[in-house]
């Protein structure tokens, strides 16, 4: 019967055009990103809602320093991962790996920056997640983002390992899906940066 | 009708042992099996949560009853609500979606089969975790048992000080985990519907069911995640000493309410849109007419999804928002009625002038139309803010949302069972038992939920453990409880029908309803690979084109 469906001549005869559909990896990742955006939105709303509502110190103005260098690192990693993807499309594995490792290095630098900042806040200013509302919302929002960066770094590392092992041929579409995630993490940082370090101070 | 299975010459197929069968089901990534697992899992929890509802109703049958303790009563209504929403309604609708969507769009499986299995098992273990709380909920402190903070778990009741022990944590983590499962399935459904359609199936030719599941999944992505975020915050509060909802440290209990209802109201539409999907497939087939106003149906659904994102605070009129917020949410709430009304008119338009066959699926669909209309109307009544101030947290609200979920969604699910059971099992469900199930359930439903509005109007608050005899609520509550038992009997008839018909039912064959969508073009049950040859479609009703080559739909679309 299926064959009959397939063989059925439509009237008026419609020449079957080329049947192309969107890539499911990309659609899946974009849907996932939409869901993630909603989660981040709720955390951002909570951060903004509780700005200046802490009953005790320290306040953001007292203790936060703007992490310009680390922000530049993370945002530029979006550029390097894009360049890496371009190289992979052209099947140039060595330059791909180089750009890919630079991306990982930039992401790792960013995470180092976050670690430094948290160490300073905890040991020098005594601000922990349970100190006041600022501590609760700050560590949750920045921590949620840092968790995503870490997850991204793990996946990037796996890809670079696969690349060294030579298993990455004709996988540029999958790598592209992963870089969509990385771009998303960067965009979220732009929002978090604005909210926490610009508006929040 | 013989099943269409491609046999490979020289390969002998052995009957698998019990162990192999079980292993096959646990490790399956086949969308049909996962769909069935979802449905069976959901039916299990329907039974459990149904028993909890009966306990609640026995307790409220008479004034000053002491069938259960007040503490146990709190656990019952919390577990009943949580289970019905997260572990019955969501899984069963995802189950039908899993089973039907690939078949209806001419695909061999979902876009991400392993993600599919992962999502199912997340939801399943979420449910088991929730019920493990009866054993493990007391934690190290020896207090608490099952969660008892209500299904919306308002702060600060969920704070450590007021909910010691681990019961609230079981609730939080169970709901969080099942939420991740739902997000996984929603991602999967979207990718499947957008990327796996067979040649010729443009967006404008998709069955309405696929369109509605697409909309529902999109809504789930932005509707369920706020709850996940809020649950994470609650965990931070409970485990790391955070202050999100800690009013002692400047935190806001209202913020939890907002976050919960930003999830909570879209959730209603996440549940009801698949119910609309079933109606949009069943009503045309049993009216022997194509759906009336296909593009308008799609537009109305998408419109409902968008508007439903901005109505949540109508659950919170009594917390003292300013009049601008009240007016905004009253207006948006009333506005949702417009696209919903369009859908009801289109279903009526489909039935109008059709040769209606009153088979069991159609009986449930017609009851759905009446009951969902009434449920919508009592909803609009409560959108009027002053009226809501009077009725909020009363049994009127309980009656309203049970009218939506039982009278609307559950009736649609029953209709879907009677409609697609032949496809899944190659057996027809018994019409006699089906009619008995239908009438018993209609009588029980109306006895319970029509009457339940009245004690609400008379001032009976929801979630009370017992009441005084002189309030004028006694007779009504007694009748409401009787109705609950009639519904329970009806569900037992339904379960008996499912089981008996599996062995005794008449053979269904490929296409028992003379329907028009692609799932009826393959054998019953469908082969593992669904379609031996991927079909090509030229209209919204490919099987009509096939059966009526002299007058195909593609000529008119």
B13 confidence band (pLDDT: 50, 70, 90):
low
**CA–CA distance, B209 with B225 (Å, rounded to integer):** 24
Q: Which residues in chain B are closer than 8 Å to A39, comparing Cβ atoms?
A: 225-226, 228-229, 232
Q: Is the pLDDT of residue B6 over 70?
A: no
- pLDDT reading at B8 higher than 70: no
Residue A2, pLDDT above cutoff 50: no
Q: Residues B521-544: what's their mean pLDDT?
A: 94
B:385-444 residues touching chain A, CB 8 A cutoff: none
User: Chain B window 106-135: which residues touch A at a Cβ cutoff of 8 Å?
Assistant: 111-112, 115
Residue B444 confidence (pLDDT) above 80: yes
Instruction: Answer for the pair A56, A68: CB distance below 8 angstroms, yes or no.
Output: no
Q: Please report the pLDDT score of residue B40 as a whole number.
A: 97
Six-digit token string for B541: 């009703």
Q: Which two tokens stand for residue A92?
A: 């140039």
What is d(CA B121, CA A29) in angstroms, rounded to the nearest whole number?
21
Contacts with A49 from chain B: Cβ below 8 Å: 252, 255
So what's the pLDDT on residue B299? 97
Taking the CA atoms of A185, A186, A187 and A189 in sequence, report the sign of the dihedral they define.
Answer: positive
Residue pLDDT, tens place only, B182-192: 999 999 999 99
The architecture that CATH gives domain B27-555 is Up-down Bundle (1.20)
pLDDT of residue B7: 60
pTM higher than 0.90: yes
Beta bridge partner(s), residue B427: B507
**Which of B196, B236, B536 shows the shortest C-beta gap to A129?**
B236
Q: What total number of domains does chain A contain?
A: 1
Query: pLDDT, tens digit, for every residue of B321-353?
Result: 999 999 999 999 999 999 999 999 999 999 999
Residue A12 banded pLDDT, cuts 50, 70, 90? very low
Q: What is the mean pLDDT of residues B59-73?
A: 94
Structure-token pair, residue A162? 């696969």
Whether the per-residue pLDDT at A68 is higher than 60: the answer is yes
| Sequence spans of domains, chain B | 27-555
Which residue pairs from B344-350 have beta carbons closer than 8 angstroms and sit at least 24 positions apart in sequence? B344/B369, B344/B372, B344/B373, B346/B291, B346/B292, B346/B293, B346/B296, B346/B297, B346/B300, B347/B279, B347/B280, B347/B283, B347/B292, B349/B292, B349/B293, B350/B283, B350/B284, B350/B287, B350/B289, B350/B290, B350/B291, B350/B292
Q: What is the pLDDT of residue B189?
A: 97
Could you tell me the sign of the dihedral formed by the alpha carbons of B65, B68, B70, B73, in that order? negative
pLDDT cut 70: percent of chain B above it: 97
Which residue range is the domain that position A174 belongs to?
Answer: 23-199
Q: Is residue A75 part of a domain?
A: yes
Does the residue A10 lie in any domain? Answer: no
Binary contact (B228, A39; C-beta < 8 A): yes
pLDDT at position B375 over 60: yes
What CATH code is carried by the domain that includes residue A135?
1.20.120.80
- Look at residue A16 and tell me if it is in a domain: no
**Interface pTM, i.e. ipTM:** 0.93
Residue A17 is assigned to a structural domain of this protein: no
* A54 touches B: beta carbon within 8 Å: yes
Q: Closest by alpha carbon to B351, among B294, B402, B401, B286?
A: B286
pLDDT over 90 (residue B430): yes
Contact assignment for A31 to B191 by CB distance below 8 Å: yes
Q: Please provide the average confidence, as pLDDT, over all residues in chain B.
A: 93
Question: Does some domain include residue A109?
Answer: yes
d(CA A46, CA B302): 28
Per-residue pLDDT at B12: 63
Chain B CB within 8 Å of residue A151 CB: no
Distance from CA of B506 to the nearest CA of A (A): 22
| Helical ranges in B137-252 per DSSP H | 167-195, 208-240
Within-domain flag for A187: yes
pLDDT at res. B3:
47
The pLDDT of residue B161 is: 87
For residues B132 and B173, is the Cβ–Cβ distance under 8 A? Answer: no
Is residue A189 included in any domain, yes or no? yes
Task: Quote the CA–CA distance of B204 and B540 in Å, as a whole number.
Answer: 8
Residue A6 has pLDDT above 60, yes or no: no
- Determine contact, residues B458/B471, Cβ cutoff 8 Å: yes
Q: How far is B200 from chain A (nearest CA, A)?
A: 7
What is the least distance, in Å, from the CA of A12 to any CA of chain B? 7
A5-14, B98-107, B125-134, B531-540: the lowest-pLDDT one: A5-14
């Amino acid at each position: 019967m299926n064959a009959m469906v397939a063989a059925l001549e439509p009237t008026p005869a419609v020449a079957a055009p080329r049947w192309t559909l969107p890539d499911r990896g990309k659609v899946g990742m974009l849907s996932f990103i939409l869901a993630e955006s909603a989660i981040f939105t709720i955390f951002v709303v909570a951060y903004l809602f509780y700005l200046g509502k802490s009953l005790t110190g320290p306040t953001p103005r007292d203790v936060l320093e703007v992490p310009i260098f680390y922000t530049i690192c993370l945002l530029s990693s979006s550029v390097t991962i894009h360049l890496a993807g371009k190289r992979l499309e052209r099947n140039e594995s060595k330059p791909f790996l180089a750009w890919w490792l630079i991306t990982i290095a930039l992401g790792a630098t960013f995470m180092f920056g976050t670690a430094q900042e948290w160490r300073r806040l905890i040991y020098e200013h005594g601000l922990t997640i349970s100190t006041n509302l600022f501590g609760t919302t700050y560590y949750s929002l920045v921590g949620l983002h840092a968790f995503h960066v870490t997850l991204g770094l793990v996946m990037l590392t796996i890809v670079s390992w696969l690349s060294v092992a030579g298993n990455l041929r004709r996988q540029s579409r999958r790598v592209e899906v992963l870089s969509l995630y990385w771009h998303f993490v960067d965009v979220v940082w732009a929002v978090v940066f604005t909210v926490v370090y610009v508006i929040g101070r | 009708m013989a099943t269409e299975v491609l046999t490979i010459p020289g390969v002998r197929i052995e009957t698998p042992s019990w162990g192999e069968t079980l292993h096959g089901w646990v490790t399956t990534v086949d969308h049909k099996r996962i769909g069935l697992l979802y449905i069976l899992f959901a039916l299990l929890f329907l039974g459990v949560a149904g028993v909890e509802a009966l306990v609640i109703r026995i307790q409220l049958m008479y004034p000053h009853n002491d069938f259960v303790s007040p503490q146990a009563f709190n656990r019952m209504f919390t577990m009943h609500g949580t289970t019905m929403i997260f572990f019955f309604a969501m899984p069963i609708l995802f189950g039908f979606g899993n089973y039907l969507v690939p078949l209806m769009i001419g695909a061999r499986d979902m876009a991400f089969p392993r993600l599919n299995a992962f999502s199912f098992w997340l939801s399943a273990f979420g449910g088991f975790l929730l019920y493990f709380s009866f054993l493990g909920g007391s934690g190290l402190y020896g207090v608490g048992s099952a969660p008892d903070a209500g299904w919306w778990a308002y702060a600060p009741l969920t704070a450590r000080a007021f909910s010691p022990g681990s019961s609230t944590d079981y609730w939080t983590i169970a709901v969080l985990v099942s939420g991740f499962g739902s997000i996984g399935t929603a991602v999967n459904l979207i990718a499947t519907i957008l990327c796996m359609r067979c040649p010729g199936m443009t967006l404008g030719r998709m069955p309405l069911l696929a369109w509605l599941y697409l909309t529902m999944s999109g809504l789930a992505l932005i509707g369920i995640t706020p709850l996940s975020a809020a649950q994470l915050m609650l965990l931070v509060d409970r485990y790391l000493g955070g202050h999100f909802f800690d009013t002692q440290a400047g935190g806001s209990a209202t913020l939890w309410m907002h976050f919960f209802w930003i999830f909570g109201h879209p959730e209603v539409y996440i549940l009801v849109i698949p119910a609309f999907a079933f109606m949009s497939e069943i009503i045309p087939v049993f009216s022997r007419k194509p759906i009336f106003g296909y593009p308008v149906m799609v537009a109305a659904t998408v419109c409902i999804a968008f508007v439903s994102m901005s109505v949540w605070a109508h659950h919170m009129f009594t917390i003292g928002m300013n009049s601008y917020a009240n007016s905004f949410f009253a207006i948006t709430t009333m506005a949702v009625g417009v696209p919903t009304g369009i859908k009801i008119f289109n279903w009526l338009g489909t039935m109008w002038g059709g040769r209606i066959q009153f088979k069991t699926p159609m009986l449930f669909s017609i009851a759905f139309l009446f009951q969902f209309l009434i449920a919508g109307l009592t909803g609009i009544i409560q959108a009027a803010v002053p009226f809501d101030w009077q009725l909020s947290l009363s049994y009127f609200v309980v009656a309203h949302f049970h009218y939506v979920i039982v009278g609307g969604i559950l009736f649609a699910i029953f209709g879907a069972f009677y409609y697609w059971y032949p496809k899944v099992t190659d057996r027809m469900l018994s019409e006699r038992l089906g009619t008995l199930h239908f009438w018993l359930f209609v009588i029980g439903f109306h006895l319970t939920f029509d009457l339940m509005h009245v004690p609400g109007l008379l001032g009976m608050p929801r979630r009370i453990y017992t009441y005084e005899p002189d309030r004028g609520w006694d007779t009504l509550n007694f009748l409401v409880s009787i109705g609950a038992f009639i519904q329970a009997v009806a569900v037992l008839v339904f379960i008996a029908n499912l089981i008996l018909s599996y062995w005794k039912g008449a053979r269904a064959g490929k296409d028992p309803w003379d329907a028009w969508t692609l799932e009826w073009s393959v054998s019953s049950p469908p082969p593992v690979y669904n379609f031996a040859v991927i079909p090509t479609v030229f209209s919204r009703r490919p099987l009509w084109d096939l059966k009526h080559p002299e007058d195909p739909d593609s000529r008119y679309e």
